[in-house]
Amino acid sequence: MAQIVDTSDLRPGMKIKWEGGMWTILECSHHKMGRGGAIVRGKLRNLETGSGVEQSFKSGERFERIIFDEKPAQFQYRDGDHYVFMDMESFDQVFLSAESLGDAVKYLVDNLEVQFEMYEGKVMGVELPNSITMKIVETPPGFKGDTASGSGKPATLETGLVVMVPFFIENGEVIVVDSRTGEYLERSKK
């Protein structure tokens, strides 16, 4: 049974059917317009094509919410423009494009276990674990006294993602990154 939501229910991360396609909400904000009704402004990304749009909706507009089934998978390797995953139940290889994965590509390290987001038997994307262990490939050296400012320094990780890390972190170290915010959490204990 389809779950119907209206504009007051829209939140980042929610998936909806709109304009004949499936979309994920990246950002949304509610605005009251003087004597008129409220509107909701949002940024959406098409789950099938990867294209993005900015859209305003009138208060009370209704949408069908998409609830995905989840299936365990493991990232294997990158093959040109595609990312290869192994379905952990059938052991089949599944090829997904960078467009369908969106920002998740910044966090895909070898053997990372993820959840396929399935809709009507088709893989629509992946759900990442909240924290991911990644190796630093480049960061400037820290100098004595740098800790006074407390802001940190940029570090490039093995996937190309750049995060801010404390000054004491060095090249080659393994750190834990929050996949929801892209922020440094801690040194890896492994």
From residue 69, alpha-carbon distances to 72, 91, 167, 184 in Å are 10, 18, 42, 30
Q: Domain ranges for the chain, please list them.
A: 3-65, 69-127, 131-187
Fold entry, domain 3-65:
SH3 type barrels. (2.30.30)
Query: In this predicted structure, what is the pLDDT of residue 143?
Result: 65
Which of 117, 111, 108 is closest to 179 using CA atoms?
108
Architecture of domain 131-187: Beta Barrel (2.40)
Domains 3-65 and 69-127 share a fold: no
pLDDT along the chain (190 residues), means of 10: 81 86 86 80 84 88 89 94 94 89 90 91 87 94 62 91 92 92 87
In eight-state DSSP terms, residue 67 is -
DSSP-H helix ranges across 24-135: 98-101
What is the CATH superfamily name and number for domain 69-127?
Answer: Nucleic acid-binding proteins (2.40.50.140)
Q: What is the pTM of this model?
A: 0.72
∠ CA 89-93-95 to the nearest 5 degrees? 125
Rounded Cα gap, residues 56 and 38, in angstroms: 10
Say what the pLDDT of residue 2 is: 65
